[in-house]
Amino acid sequence: MRILVADDERSLADVITKRLKKEGYAVDTVYDGSSALDYLEATAYDLAILDVMMPGMDGFEALRRYRSGGGDAPVIFLTAKDALSDRIQGLDEGADDYLVKPFSFDELLARIRSVLRRAGGNKSSNILSVDDLVLDLSTGIVKRGERIIELSAKEYALLKYMMSNEGIILSREMLLNHVWDYSYEGQSNMVDVYIRYLRKKIDAESERPLIHTYRGRGYMIGGADES
């Protein structure tokens, strides 16, 4: 999942970014409203976290312009303003949630999970499943049958994105855009490398492979190999 963080309080923005990356999210970070709008309009984010009071353009205005242009990524506002009128304004502008500073990072993570579930049309379950592969979003535990699978943060993020798009062929570009971020400067074949890692952990001990290759097009979980 790819997230945009926009907050002019650089130390807070950088801490949020660092913690989210540790949780396996791909994160881009900006420090003003105009840059936030530019990034939102240029990239298909899964979620944006916007501070309200930012220089040049505040979060309300950035979201207003983004929504008026057809942008539909879910948005969580962060702000030091806790007046009811401010919360109502944020929601009226098209925000999906509103978190008042100071806040705990665990609460922010819970809000992110909740908003992403709602955006994905899954309001009642923390479980992603494909065949006998199960990913528990609330605990981060991944199991194939009764076997618990240990994953790195990046492997987990890649698997979560693929399972959220079961039965859809995902190109390498789509996987790179959603699981990595603009700061990534590694090898161009990194998606293929991590797909191999996942296959070794998920499919190696099973008679039914779940991760499939579509030559020249990308990868799918839950479908069948192109042949």
In this prediction, residue 121 carries a pLDDT of 55
Task: Tell me the pLDDT of the chain averaged across its residues.
Answer: 85
Rg value, the chain, Cα: 18
Over residues 33-41, mean pLDDT: 94
Token readout for 37 is 């709008």
151-221 folds as Arc Repressor Mutant, subunit A (1.10.10)
pLDDT-wise least confident of 32-41, 111-120, 195-204: 111-120
Please give the distance of CA 177 from its chain centroid, rounded to a whole number: 10
pLDDT-wise least confident of 7-11, 48-52, 120-124: 120-124
Q: Kindly report the CATH number that applies to the domain delimited by 2-119.
A: 3.40.50.2300
In this prediction, residue 157 carries a pLDDT of 86
Over residues 17-46, mean pLDDT: 91
Greater pLDDT, 87 or 4: 4
For 201-214, the pLDDT digits (tens) are: 999 888 889 999 99
For 11-23, the pLDDT digits (tens) are: 999 999 999 988 8
* pTM exceeds cut of 0.85: no
Res. 182 pLDDT band, cuts 50 70 90 = low
CB atoms within 10 A of CB 44: 12
- What is the C-alpha separation between 60 and 64, in angstroms, rounded? 6
Give residue limits of the domains in the chain.
Answer: 2-119, 151-221
Residues contacting residue 211 through CB under 8 Å, at least 6 positions apart: 162, 195, 198, 199, 202, 203, 219, 220, 221
* Owner of token pair 């535990």: 141
In this prediction, residue 123 carries a pLDDT of 42
What phi-psi label fits residue 104: left (phi over 0), alpha (psi between -120 and 50 degrees) or beta?
A: beta
In this prediction, residue 184 carries a pLDDT of 63
